[in-house]
């Protein structure tokens, strides 16, 4: 799913924070983002590709080169600038096959598999387009309520992935701890996005609490329940399809936040950052913050949070990282924890077993002799 190529917005997180007392008197409610500004998933899924270099594909880093530690940025420190902007494009069938090293035409089954992938992606695009149209209708003039719904939904697939993987572990079919670590870190990140959307910074701006209305909570929670079981079923049948669908959802979230912060930059810079955002992005323990960003080494991104604009800028950048991780996951076995290259080798290592989807898992369990 997704959006027209987004302009190369450099990820700079800097601004000066005004006092809250002056903001109460001078603040004007920002204009809302029109529904027409939100693009459909079918256009997003047809953009030029974004650079995706999973950490597992990089050369090994010496553990002394990247010490894992959290730092709280001070006012005198330099701006954090990410060298390249993100342009979302959902993975195509050719990219999946190329990244897995398979020949596209040499094998008899390759054409069939190619059509299967295209079919999966078409279903995903239809589903995401449908959800976007519903949200556009209900929330065309209520941005923060829309963000609350998006973040409630965004956490769900990572719960679903972990549920299925835990079930496979119980049956002895699958044991790859890095997937569980990364997916939990992704759900932890989305949980903090949700907490931010629930905060009410100003009493005069009651809409900032995105969960203020009963209808919004009812809709988000019931969609989340349906989405959970749908994702569990999809992940059991085809992990590749489930990851692609999550990539489309995260791509829509990135596009939505990107348009919002470009339209409301000046107003957002007048508002203070919620305490929960400051603690999450600049706290003393950023292990999980690094863990879900599989395309970069640990400790390479340390946000500076001074106002609400910085918060939304980093939420948007988080969605870009989720997209990259979901794209890497679509090639089976391609996901690796960012910390795996620098953690102590003396750490307990669990023997790995592996399978892809319920059919492959059952087949391997029947044909593979258990280790003695």
**Which is more confident, 215 or 201?**
215
Closest CA to 243 of 315, 310, 331, 366: 331
Closest CA to 61 of 261, 239, 296: 296
Q: Mean per-residue pLDDT for 258-282?
A: 93
What is the per-residue pLDDT for 230?
95
- Does residue 143 surpass a pLDDT of 60? yes
> For every residue of the chain, which 3-state class applies, written as one string?
CCCCCCCCCCEECCCCCCCHHHHHHHCCCCCCCCHHHCCCHHHHCCCCCCCCCCHHHCCCCCCCCCCCCCCCCCCCCCCCEECCCCCCCCCCHHHHHHHCCCCCCCCCCHHHHHHHHHHHHHHHHHHHHHHHHHHHHHCCCCHHHHHHHHHHHHCHHHHHHHHHHHHHHHHCCCECHHHHHHHHHHHHHHHHHHHHHHCCCCCCCHHHCCCCCHHHHHHHHHHHHHHHHHHHHHHHHCHHHHHHHHHHHHHHHHHHHHHHHHHCHHHHCCCCCCHHHHHHHHCCCCHHHHHCCCCCCCCCCCCCCCCHHHHHHHHHHHHHHHHHHHHHHCCCCCCCCHHHHCCCCCCCCCCCECCCHHHHHHHHHHHCCCCC
What end-to-end distance do the CA atoms of the chain give, in Å?
A: 47
Give the tens place of pLDDT for each residue, 12-21. 333 333 343 3
**Which is more confident, 227 or 75?**
227
Residue with tokens 């990247």: 66
| Residue-averaged pLDDT of the chain | 73
**Which two tokens mark 150?**
């998006």
**Which two tokens mark 79?**
């701006």
CB 37 within 8 A of CB 259: yes
- Which of 197-206, 325-334, 341-350 shows the highest mean pLDDT? 325-334
What is the per-residue pLDDT for 171?
83
Split at pLDDT 50, 70, 90, the class of 307 is very high
CB atoms within 10 A of CB 60: 9
**Which two tokens mark 48?**
């030029």
Q: What CA–CA distance (Å, rounded) separates 53 from 330? A: 13
**Which two tokens mark 130?**
């449908």
What is the per-residue pLDDT for 29?
42
Q: What CA–CA distance (Å, rounded) separates 247 from 328? A: 10
Closest CA to 157 of 183, 131, 188, 125: 183
Apex 362 CA angle, 360 and 363, nearest 5: 60
Contacts of 300 (CB under 8 A, 6+ apart): 66
Closest CA to 119 of 101, 145, 93, 158: 93
What is the per-residue pLDDT for 206?
43
Closest CA to 156 of 176, 118, 186: 186
- Does residue 8 surpass a pLDDT of 60? no
Percent of the chain whose pLDDT exceeds 70? 60
Give the tens place of pLDDT for each residue, 338-366. 887 665 544 555 556 666 666 666 676 66
Give the tens place of pLDDT for each residue, 44-57. 444 444 444 444 44
């Amino acid at each position: 799913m997704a959006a027209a190529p987004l302009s190369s917005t450099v990820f700079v997180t800097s601004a000066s924070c005004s006092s809250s007392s002056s903001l109460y008197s001078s603040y004007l409610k920002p204009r809302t983002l029109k529904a027409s500004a939100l693009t459909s998933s079918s256009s997003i899924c047809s953009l030029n590709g974004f650079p995706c270099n999973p950490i597992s594909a990089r050369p090994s880093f010496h553990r002394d080169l990247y010490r894992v530690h959290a730092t709280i940025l001070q006012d005198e420190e330099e701006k954090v600038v990410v060298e390249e902007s993100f342009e979302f494009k959902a993975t195509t069938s050719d990219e999946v096959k190329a990244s897995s090293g398979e020949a596209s035409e040499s094998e008899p089954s390759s054409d069939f598999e190619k059509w299967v992938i295209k079919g999966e992606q078409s279903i995903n695009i239809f589903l995401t387009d449908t959800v976007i149209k519903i949200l556009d209708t209900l929330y065309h003039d209520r941005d923060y309520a829309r963000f609350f719904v998006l973040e409630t939904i965004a956490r769900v697939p990572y719960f679903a992935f972990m549920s299925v993987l835990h079930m496979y572990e119980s049956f002895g079919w699958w044991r790859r701890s890095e997937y569980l670590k990364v997916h939990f870190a992704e759900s932890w990140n989305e949980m903090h996005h949700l907490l931010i959307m629930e905060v009410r910074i100003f009493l005069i701006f009651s809409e900032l609490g995105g969960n203020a209305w009963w209808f919004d909570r009812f809709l988000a929670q019931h969609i989340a329940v349906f989405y959970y079981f749908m994702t569990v079923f999809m992940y059991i049948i085809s992990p590749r399809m489930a990851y692609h669908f999550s990539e489309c959802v995260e791509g829509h979230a990135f596009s939505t936040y990107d348009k919002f912060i470009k339209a409301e930059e000046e107003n957002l810079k007048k508002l203070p950052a919620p305490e929960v955002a400051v603690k999450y992005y600049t706290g003393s323990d950023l292990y999980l913050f690094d863990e879900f960003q599989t395309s970069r080494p640990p400790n390479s991104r340390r946000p500076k949070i001074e106002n609400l604009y910085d918060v939304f800028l980093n939420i948007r950048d988080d969605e870009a990282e989720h997209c990259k991780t979901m794209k890497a996951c679509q090639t089976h076995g391609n996901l690796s924890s960012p910390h795996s290259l620098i953690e102590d080798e003396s750490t307990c290592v669990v023997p790995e077993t592996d399978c892809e989807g319920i059919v492959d898992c059952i087949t391997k369990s029947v044909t593979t002799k258990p280790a003695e």
